[in-house]
Amino acid sequence: MGCQELDSLQNYIREIGTRSKLASREMMGASLLARNRSLVSISSEILKFKSKILEANNYDLSKSKNLSSSMIDRLTLNASGIESLAAAVLSVSSLPDPIGNIEGMRQQPSGIKVGKMRVPIGVVGMIYEARPSVTADVAALTIKSGNAALLKGGVEAAETNSVLMEAILTGINQVGLIPCDCVQLVDPTDRKIVEKLIQADTFVDLLIPRGGKSLIKLVLEKATMPVLKHLDGVCHVFVDKSADLKKALAISMNAKTQRLGTCNTMETLLVSTEIASKFIPLILSQLERVGIEIRACSETSKLYPNSILATEEDWYEEYLGPVLSVRIVKDADDAISHITKYGSNHTDSIVSEDYSTISKFIRQVDSSSVIVNASTRFADGFEYGLGAEIGISTDKFHARGPVGLEGLTSAKWIVFGNGEVRK
Amino acid sequence: MGCQELDSLQNYIREIGTRSKLASREMMGASLLARNRSLVSISSEILKFKSKILEANNYDLSKSKNLSSSMIDRLTLNASGIESLAAAVLSVSSLPDPIGNIEGMRQQPSGIKVGKMRVPIGVVGMIYEARPSVTADVAALTIKSGNAALLKGGVEAAETNSVLMEAILTGINQVGLIPCDCVQLVDPTDRKIVEKLIQADTFVDLLIPRGGKSLIKLVLEKATMPVLKHLDGVCHVFVDKSADLKKALAISMNAKTQRLGTCNTMETLLVSTEIASKFIPLILSQLERVGIEIRACSETSKLYPNSILATEEDWYEEYLGPVLSVRIVKDADDAISHITKYGSNHTDSIVSEDYSTISKFIRQVDSSSVIVNASTRFADGFEYGLGAEIGISTDKFHARGPVGLEGLTSAKWIVFGNGEVRK
């Protein structure tokens, strides 16, 4: 690629970035009514555009040749999918306003009153693949939270995203209360655009990459603005000696098999040695019956010979598929040490009926979600009652775990005085 | 510097970093009693070490040759300074526990109960200059918040810091309930150590640089972990046409002159044109009387000829000294535009009696503190009732504005179930 082309990419980013920044300033002052009415209008336009969206999606699917079946699955949008999309946008309009609230306003000894106001972040940059539903979801969440969005979808979904954006813009313009630049698609055809976008910190205030590990790694290395992301989901279920084995069985099965490819799926099962001889054959035979391959520690393989011996690498692995590593541990301390060493600070569950063991697990496991007697699959914005989810963060800063509308806001201090000066 | 020396620096960082990380794991489980008793003990040891600290401080002062007078001012620790230091550590012990609380625990439709628990961050790295009081302050705040600290003070305060650390360690060891590695000094003699420290993201979870702009810029360019910082404090006071001029006068004088060199000191005064002819001569003559040099816009200089004409650069400038830029603006919108263009998103005040103008200013000024009818000097952790301050953040993420103990914590989601699985 020549310098000229790079220059023109830079100009392109500068142009859409400047428009986005201006729109974000306007959005900061947009009333709740203006934002909600726009969302309602977008939702109904998505329904009106249904056949056009289906047509575009068929086109995208027809031209995709080398895509994996899971990619095709995520790319496909059918009529009922479009209806849920419209419903999701509508439901965001009925969520409480995430901005404007002033919390904790308290009088100080000097006489000033101090509180914290929730405010939009500015411009949110989103990089994602396949799944065109993200386009509508993120547009809705950024509008609701008073931000502007730059959406860089995958080239494989270009036509679908472009028609979806047409529906979104029609919805915005029909109400005419928020700037149409508050949501913009970034041209996905040039692969170099990602590298430019993740360094455009003059325009993009927060970057949310959603996609494969290579994308996240690129972003971690080169992004110059704050990033909301999760890298790995090596989630554990620890079955304590005091566990109710019926619960343990149901939770382990659900955590591994309800969906195989999600980040909150269990990848390693830890079983207390005291109950291993009873629980291991029970759970592993059930898992095997539904096609899960077992990579076991040597203790486990003695109890369940129909398993492959796990290597050191297995404990670090996020299989995202029909494979599970299983290890017998001495006790809760041993389980916590394993999770601390091999885990990814995403989501870890304990199954136990013992108060002190549960307390210790909660305090010492340093993950974004620590779950007691329930499936790891619950780590999700909707299940947590956030009303929406923009992603899951395994960072400790700004937002951690499932991130809803609040993760798209910041806070500023508001001080009300009556002529006070500092002494 | 040869490769060998760099290698040994790397080894040194790895050694103290590993010890810090281990200590932070222990601190995560340290009870409130253990943390508070250690703080009480540190406080009394600082008093016992008073003469040794004074001696060390005299030594540091005697060997400092090329230091500016403000640097010497910050480096100096006298008997009453040491007493306030001990008192500050003691007062941190009486603050509420910033970790362990589980907030917003709510039952979800699935039956699970979900809440958010405040947890320590891990290892906090602090880089600072001169002011040895930071050593005790930050040690107290990190212990209280269940973190570990790596403190890199200035070489000019090496002896004072080293004796202070002796007092801190004695205090910790006498109680014996928290690991002595929870606070460690980083050897300040090698200047290359800063560059190593700010890239040691395996060990340091949060970096807080406090010092000149060259340090902050180095950190912004090269740090590989999250950073809590503020770059500039170009703070404004806007006197609206509806302002109570008595309040306006008191607030402007205080904001500029109560302390000249702090980040929340006013650097630019904006005055509504409607009241300019009345207010400008009043405030500027008072300011001049106490030695403040005025850099004025052309309109202002007509009303107050005894001023220098401001250049475009003046509006961006953080003088940190006896200079003030003054501009007459059309109205609140004009003031907000000026602040948006030239400000640093730190702290900005409006003096006004008009409800709508105040509402607009609060909503549209995108600063970490927006102040109504009070001095910008109030932007401070103690004045805001945080009980302590570790710094001021002009970022929108994690913590914004004055940062107290809460800024040294993160949150994790806690889920209580009773065998629930995801459907």
* pLDDT single digits (tens) B165-183: 999 999 999 999 999 999 9
| Preferred mutation among B415, B418, B423 to probe A, highest tally of A CBs within 10 A | B415
Q: How many domains does chain B have?
A: 2
Min Cα–Cα distance to chain B from A83, Å: 21
Model confidence band, residue B1 (pLDDT cutoffs 50, 70, 90): very low
Q: Are residues B209 and B240 in the same domain?
A: no
Domain CATH code at residue A355? 3.40.309.10
B398: nearest CB among A258, A397, A420: A397
**At residue B230, does pLDDT exceed 90?**
no
**At residue B186, does pLDDT exceed 80?**
yes
Write down the pLDDT at residue B4: 63
Alpha helices in B176-259 (DSSP H): 193-197, 213-222, 245-257
Q: Are residues B370 and B261 in the same domain?
A: yes
**At residue B101, does pLDDT exceed 50?**
yes
- Which chain A residues are within 8 Å of B251, Cβ to Cβ? 419-421
Q: Are residues B272 and B161 in the same domain?
A: no
Task: Find the residue in A nearest to B247 (Cα).
Answer: A419
* CA-to-CA dists, residue B216 to A261, B204, B227, B259, angstroms: 42, 17, 10, 22
What is chain B's alpha carbon radius of gyration, rounded to the nearest angstrom?
24
Residue in this structure with the two tokens 């601390």, named with its chain if needed: A340
Domain of residue A372, residue span: 235-383
B108: nearest CB among A247, A250, A385: A385
Min Cα–Cα distance to chain A from B178, Å: 16
* CA-to-CA dists, residue A404 to A92, B111, B310, B366, angstroms: 11, 20, 46, 22
Residue in this structure with the two tokens 């890298």, named with its chain if needed: A231
Min Cα–Cα distance to chain B from A50, Å: 29
Closest among A421, A270, A414, A281 to A351, alpha carbons compared: A270
Q: Are residues B68 and B104 in the same domain?
A: yes
pLDDT in tens, B140-156: 999 999 999 999 999 99
Cα(A402)–Cα(A395) distance, integer angstroms: 11
Cα(A364)–Cα(A96) distance, integer angstroms: 34
Write down the pLDDT at residue A3: 57
Write down the pLDDT at residue B388: 83
Write out the two tokens for A224: 């110059």
Q: What order do you get walking across the sheet with B183-185 strand by strand?
A: B183-185, B148-152, B123-128, B206-210
Low-confidence stretches of chain A (pLDDT < 70) are: 1-6
Assess if residue B389 is contained within a domain. Answer: no
Contacts of B202 (CB under 8 A, 6+ apart): B17, B21
Write down the pLDDT at residue A189: 86
Widest Cα–Cα separation across chain A: 79
Average pLDDT over residues B41-66: 94
Assess if residue B361 is contained within a domain. Answer: yes
| Preferred mutation among B228, B421, B423 to probe A, highest tally of A CBs within 10 A | B421
Assess if residue B18 is contained within a domain. Answer: yes
Is there a contact between B201 and B224 (Cβ–Cβ < 8 Å)?
yes
Q: Are residues A193 and A253 in the same domain?
A: no
Q: Are residues B91 and B172 in the same domain?
A: yes
Assess if residue A284 is contained within a domain. Answer: yes
Average pLDDT over residues B269-295: 97
Contacts of B34 (CB under 8 A, 6+ apart): B175, B177, B178
Assess if residue A391 is contained within a domain. Answer: no
Is there a contact between B227 and B207 (Cβ–Cβ < 8 Å)?
yes
Count Cα neighbours of A6 within 13 Å in the Cβ-side half-sphere.
5
Average pLDDT over residues B298-313: 95
Is there a contact between B53 and B46 (Cβ–Cβ < 8 Å)?
yes
DSSP class of residue B376? G
Residue in this structure with the two tokens 């898992």, named with its chain if needed: A287
Write down the pLDDT at residue B220: 83
B396: nearest CB among A205, A246, A417: A205
Task: Find the residue in A nearest to B387 (Cα).
Answer: A108
| Preferred mutation among A21, A353, A421, A423 to probe B, highest tally of B CBs within 10 A | A421
Cα(A75)–Cα(A161) distance, integer angstroms: 10
Cα(B356)–Cα(B254) distance, integer angstroms: 25
Assess if residue A224 is contained within a domain. Answer: yes
Is there a contact between A148 and A24 (Cβ–Cβ < 8 Å)?
yes
Say yes or no for a CB contact (<8 Å) between B254 and A421: yes
Assess if residue A129 is contained within a domain. Answer: yes
Three-state DSSP class for residue B351: strand
Say yes or no for a CB contact (<8 Å) between B419 and A246: yes
Say yes or no for a CB contact (<8 Å) between A419 and B364: no
DSSP class of residue A77? -
Q: Are residues A160 and A84 in the same domain?
A: yes
pLDDT in tens, B12-37: 999 999 999 999 999 998 999 999 99
Q: Are residues A69 and A102 in the same domain?
A: yes
Closest among A406, A70, A63 to B413, alpha carbons compared: A406
Domain CATH code at residue A153? 3.40.605.10
pLDDT in tens, B379-412: 999 999 888 888 889 888 888 899 999 999 999 9
Secondary structure (DSSP) of A266-324: EEEEEEEHHHHHHHHHHHHHHHHHTT-EEEE-HHHHHH--SSEEPPGGGGG----SSEE
Q: Are residues A183 and A61 in the same domain?
A: yes
- Which chain B residues are within 8 Å of A418, Cβ to Cβ? 247, 373-374
Write out the two tokens for B159: 């002896």
Closest among A84, A76, A124, A116 to A100, alpha carbons compared: A116
Task: Find the residue in A nearest to B423 (Cα).
Answer: A258
Write down the pLDDT at residue A1: 43
- Which chain A residues are within 8 Å of B417, Cβ to Cβ? 371-375, 378
Say yes or no for a CB contact (<8 Å) between B413 and A363: no
Q: Are residues B257 and B125 in the same domain?
A: no
Say yes or no for a CB contact (<8 Å) between B413 and A420: no
- Which chain A residues are within 8 Å of B106, Cβ to Cβ? 385
Average pLDDT over residues B333-362: 96
Average pLDDT over residues B52-64: 94
Q: What are phi and psi of B122, to 5 degrees?
A: 135, -110
Q: What are phi and psi of A176, to 5 degrees?
A: 70, 25
Task: Find the residue in B nearest to A370 (Cα).
Answer: B414
Average pLDDT over residues B360-367: 94
Write down the pLDDT at residue A70: 78
Q: Are residues B174 and B256 in the same domain?
A: no
Q: Are residues A245 and A325 in the same domain?
A: yes
Task: Find the residue in A nearest to B31 (Cα).
Answer: A363
Closest among B351, B347, B392, B341 to B367, alpha carbons compared: B347
Write out the two tokens for B303: 């009303």
Assess if residue A7 is contained within a domain. Answer: yes
Write down the pLDDT at residue B170: 98
Structure ipTM: 0.90
Is there a contact between A227 and A197 (Cβ–Cβ < 8 Å)?
no
The pTM score is 0.90
What is chain A's alpha carbon radius of gyration, rounded to the nearest angstrom?
24
